[in-house]
Structure 1
Amino acid sequence: MVKLSDVLTWNPQSNAMRACSIQRMILLVCLVLTLAPVPVLAASITGTIACMGEGVEGVVVSDGYAFTTTDKQGFYTLDSNKKYGYIFYVIPSGYMPLAGENDWEDRLFGGFWQTLTSPEDKDKDERHDFALQREENDNHIMVFAADPQLGNRKDTKDMKIYKKLFLPRIKREIEEAGSTPVYSTVLGDLSWDRYWYANHFNIADYKAYVVKNHKSYNMRHFCVMGNHDYDPATPYSGETDLLASALYRRTVGPTYYSYNIGKIHYVVLDDIIYENKPSKSGKYEKGIVGTRDYKAGLTDEQLAWLEKDLSYVDAGTPVFVSMHAPAWAENGHFEVVAQLKYNNTTARLCQMLGKFRTVHIMSGHRHQCCNMQPEQFPNIMEHTLGAVGGNLWSSSGYTGHPVCVDGSPGGYQTFTINGKDISWQSHILEGAGNEQMRVIDVNTLKELQRGDSTWQTILKTYPGRQDFSKMADNTILVNVFNYDNEWTVRVYEDGKELPVSRIRCEDPYVTMTFDIPMFKKEKTYRKGDATKYNTHTFLAVASKPDSKIRVEVTDRFGRTYHTTKQFPIACTLEALAPSGI
């Protein structure tokens, strides 16, 4: 692994000249690659994997292409084409990488992979040894978070809010876990390529920031690569994806890999194919040489790697697959449909996972929450997480409230693993951290929407936005952030249960925290950060406007969350912001 002290000497301030020279260099490299034959497995990578000086047998080793396993002495030999410039092993159950007490880079990010010494010399043999330590982890907690997308921005104060809200929550998870080990997986878009050069904050700076805050983020940080974690100074070519991921691979680690914790097999995939095609105008922001576009899906090479990786795993082992872009999505009719159509990725991936009884796909990218179980693959459940900072920390910058485009608050999820038994729960950054729903009085909402001139302008400017005046009087909306089909939602008016229906709906709280403040300032808003329709809102209609309303939601594990409110409820930020249930 390349140390941060080596990487962070790179100075992006002179990027204009640097980008030009990089373009010439990459074009030359691409010409050589075009003329060169397909790489063969020429170099021999050898080493040992040991614990307390004793070799560990049967550990799987890979370079992202080829595989081997260690023998009885913990020795391995791998013929490698050195394409990705690293070697890694699949962490075996009951172990974790050994790292020095104060080596926080290795303790958080490394230990299971190393950069090759001479990646450019395809014929040069190398030796890479690894050390393990025993760790009882059949029972453990995995924290999943998505899209922190830090960019050292002044407008949203993303770094300040991340440190103020997210890091204390992470620290609390460790404290509350006691002796149970806690790990984390971040589901891509750790950084924001748009600000790599403008704000001098790239993927290596993200890593340095987490390492610096290790007293709060004191858990292993498994990383997923997102579309914003590529170097946007890489010109478009046939090798853009490989070249633009070079800094990530040198500092953060492999873009796809796997590891075992307890009785669970975890896989990380890279389902972004970065292209960075030139724009028609030829105009770019500082340091950027393309449109930062990409395809979402998996290449044949990565699918072949995954098939081989899974061949080492027993069918009875629960499998978690973490990647950035979701494999599935839920449409307005509540149907689960394939999302990764490039290379028929969704179907091929799920067919490959078909032999396993329990599969959880973890994804982010969309900045909204959705839990899906495709009918054709009943063993698979996908959890698409909302972003840690909501809509790119944008609502935080305007109102101090991080909220995703579907109304779910910024936060993360914890998966509690006891052997093969798995349960999960969402946590938010505000309030008590356990709020699972938002209750909205449509009577007061209609008054606000009707009387707010900016909101009325938004409705006229952006056709398709939700006009709440069309809803019946005394309507109650309940946004259940982490809903799945095993949850129940009940609404009571003065003790009498009301009929409840699931609807496709906007959450007005997003409009209030972001759309309206930005529109007032800019006379427009960024559609990607603005309110989106969600599929986890429920509707009931009361008989009168001033009833006592009780809402109870129960998750698939039997945990019930409830709130009682005397209507009418004010439609204000203070009334709708998370507090705790």
Structure 2
Amino acid sequence: MSQKRRTFLKSLGLAGVGFTLSPSILQAKPKALAIGKDLSLVTLSGKVYANGKGVAGVAVTDGINVVLTDASGKYEFESNATAEFVYISIPRGYEFNNEKSITRFYKKIESIKGRFKADFDLKKLAQDDTKHNFVVWADPQIISEADAVQLKQESAPDLKQLVGSYPKDTLFHGIGCGDLVWDKFELFEDYQEALAITGVPFFQVIGNHDMNLDARTDEGSAEKFKELFGPTYYSFNRGDIHYVVLDDVFFIGTAKKYIGYLTERQLAWLEQDLAIVKPGSTVVVNVHIPVYTKQHIRNKDKEESIGGVVSNRKELYRILKPYKAHIMSGHTHFNEKIVDNENIVEHVHGTVCGAWWTGPICYDGTPSGYGVYEVNGSDVQWYYKSTGLPKEHQLRIYPAGAVAEKPEHVAANVWNWDPEWKVEWLEDGKPMGEMQRETAKDPLSIELHEGAAKPAKHKWVEPLLTDHMFFAKPSAAASSITVVATDRFGKIYKEELKLETTQSLVR
């Protein structure tokens, strides 16, 4: 055996094992193996049209590349066999095509001889969409038929009623912000039935409880979600707002283990997607796991939970820097606003299911409910809607002694608070100034959740520290306390507490 041949076999780990390669094998051209991913090229093409006429400038993507339709509404580009869908970023001024409130903006790629053709038929809106509203439903998270009944009989009719309280033809859409079910895929049908009751077209975000838990990698964990709702990251437009949905739940290959993380593929796609959005525009990014929360600070933990925030969020912040951005999330079952970045407001939402359908509130005392956003041009205003309660219900007052650490103070939970709010109090009608904000647990959450024996339905639920609790010390002779909360938009909310009567904490 020549030295050159011996060196070659050694490099393959075959030297000295009596293995001989024929010259024909050594000279043969490599062939693709039958196993593994198909990386062959696929040509995607088609047309985006409305009323038979092509629509120019519509973004079309396979989740890897982003192209724009030409003057006649046509597109064509090279993809590869790893791409699962071809889909559009619905342009402003058009309806959201949906099937019983599930939006459909995509086509599953079924390549024939390396080509796939997909046309998209749009319908022009009857009115201008510069003004429109949207809602964020975080964590419906149904695990049983009983949960599904509550979703369909309480949450869905509540949203339907809210929409009906606005002027006729007001535009609404919804974001299902992840954990649509609780690992029970058979209940996805109930979730879809609930959306149909609302009459609002919904876009879906994948949550950690919407994943295939037997997948071997993150790539396979979204299989069922994609089957029902299409791609896990995409964008669409309404009025002056560009909406983005991302998948920030990274499954690490063992049941119910995940981290908050955005893959390179998504970030690279997002850079392309936003390249056609004018700097200074308002962008609304929707994820399941919060990009950031301050819960670890409130709990005095040494570090953030890797499953509770997005580890590589700095890259997302960098990409969003040229825009005015809002980030929508759920996952935590508490309500929080993060305004640390000058161009970004992060909205961590209280949940539709509260503390997993155990009662009327979340961990932090926020009522079960959802976020409501009113858009006018690039301006976004918002409030929190408690299920089954008027939209003016924005705080809850507790008598002195309700918070053990502050026995002489009345307390108020103002769950949608952010630093632009003002929370003041009056004693017997006399203005007393601003209340003091402190980190504390909500008394009703303690009453309903604290201890190993409760709540009976899910005994592991416990109250959490929150930073939207406010305190004031009334005089001994006071007979009534009024809390006046003014939000960042100048809307005023009031609640009164009669000190001489004993009231239930449940309000």
TM-score (norm 2): 0.86
Aligned to 2:59: 60
CA shift in 2, pair 1:81/1:485, >3 Å: same
The one-letter amino acid paired with 1:425 is Y
Aligned to 2:257: 293
1:355 CA displacement: 0.8
1:77 CA displacement: 0.9
Aligned to 1:241: 218
1:546 CA displacement: 4.8
CA shift in 2, pair 1:472/1:175, >3 Å: closer
Q: Is the 8 A contact 1:441 1:569 kept in 2?
A: no
The one-letter amino acid paired with 1:435 is H
Give RMSD over aligned pairs: 2.6
CA shift in 2, pair 1:431/1:93, >3 Å: closer
1:498 CA displacement: 5.0
Task: Give the distance between the partners of 1:148 and 1:69, measured in 2 at CA.
Answer: 35
Greater mean alpha carbon deviation, residues 405-414 or residues 433-442:
433-442
Among residues 210, 220, 234, which one is paired with 1:257 in the alignment? 234
Among residues 171, 190, 194, which one is paired with 1:210 in the alignment? 194
The one-letter amino acid paired with 2:60 is V
| Overall identity of the aligned pairs, in % | 29
1:570 CA displacement: 2.7
Among residues 277, 282, 296, which one is paired with 1:318 in the alignment? 282
How many residues in Structure 1 have an aligned counterpart in Structure 2?
Answer: 468
Q: Is the 8 A contact 1:94 1:134 kept in 2?
A: yes
Task: Give the distance between the partners of 1:530 and 1:251, measured in 2 at CA.
Answer: 33
2:453 matches 1:539: no
Alignment of 1:520-535 (within 5 A): 525-526=459-460, 529-535=461-467
Flag the structure with higher helix content.
1
1:554 CA displacement: 0.4
1:568 CA displacement: 4.0
1:67 CA displacement: 1.7
SS of the residue 1:170 aligns to: helix
Structure with bigger gyration radius? 2
Q: Is the 8 A contact 1:428 1:434 kept in 2?
A: no
Aligned to 1:78: 77
Aligned to 2:21: none
Aligned to 1:226: 207
Aligned to 2:50: 51
Q: Is the 8 A contact 2:48 2:69 kept in 1?
A: yes
Aligned to 1:151: 143
2:421 matches 1:487: yes
Among residues 541, 552, 559, which one is paired with 2:491 in the alignment? 559
SS of the residue 2:497 aligns to: strand
SS of the residue 2:496 aligns to: strand
Residue-by-residue CA offset, 1:197-224 (whole Å, 9 max, x unaligned): xxx43x3x2454236xx2x321110111
SS of the residue 1:180 aligns to: coil
Q: Is the 8 A contact 1:272 1:297 kept in 2?
A: yes
Q: Is the 8 A contact 2:97 2:103 kept in 1?
A: no
The one-letter amino acid paired with 1:539 is F
Among residues 170, 179, 189, which one is paired with 1:189 in the alignment? 179
2:96 matches 1:138: no
1:518 CA displacement: 4.1
Task: Give the distance between the partners of 1:519 and 1:384, measured in 2 at CA.
Answer: 25
1:511 CA displacement: 2.5
Alignment of 1:429-508 (within 5 A): 429-443=387-401, 445=402, 468-473=403-408, 475-494=409-428, 495-497=430-432, 500-508=435-443
Q: Is the 8 A contact 1:207 1:252 kept in 2?
A: no
2:107 matches 1:114: yes
Q: Structure 2: 5+ residue runs without aligned partners?
A: 1-31
Residue-by-residue CA offset, 1:148-169 (whole Å, 9 max, x unaligned): 012224xxx3122212221112
Task: Give the distance between the partners of 1:539 and 1:501, measured in 2 at CA.
Answer: 5
2:311 matches 1:382: no
CA shift in 2, pair 1:70/1:410, >3 Å: same
Aligned to 1:419: 377
Task: Give the distance between the partners of 1:95 and 1:521, measured in 2 at CA.
Answer: 47
Residue-by-residue CA offset, 1:466-509 (whole Å, 9 max, x unaligned): xx444242x11110010000000001222140552110110121
Q: Is the 8 A contact 1:436 1:482 kept in 2?
A: yes
CA shift in 2, pair 1:554/1:333, >3 Å: same
Q: Structure 1: 5+ residue runs without aligned partners?
A: 1-31, 278-290, 396-401, 446-467
CA shift in 2, pair 1:55/1:549, >3 Å: same
CA shift in 2, pair 1:67/1:370, >3 Å: same
Task: Give the distance between the partners of 1:363 and 1:244, measured in 2 at CA.
Answer: 20
CA shift in 2, pair 1:340/1:140, >3 Å: farther
SS of the residue 1:387 aligns to: coil
Among residues 137, 151, 170, which one is paired with 1:162 in the alignment? 151
SS of the residue 1:519 aligns to: coil
1:251 CA displacement: 1.2
Task: Give the distance between the partners of 1:483 and 1:532, measured in 2 at CA.
Answer: 16
The one-letter amino acid paired with 1:349 is L
Task: Give the distance between the partners of 2:293 and 2:46, measured in 1 at CA.
Answer: 43
1:173 CA displacement: 2.6
SS of the residue 2:488 aligns to: coil
Task: Give the distance between the partners of 1:302 and 1:525, measured in 2 at CA.
Answer: 38
1:253 CA displacement: 1.4
Among residues 171, 187, 196, which one is paired with 2:160 in the alignment? 171
Task: Give the distance between the partners of 1:506 and 1:158, measured in 2 at CA.
Answer: 26
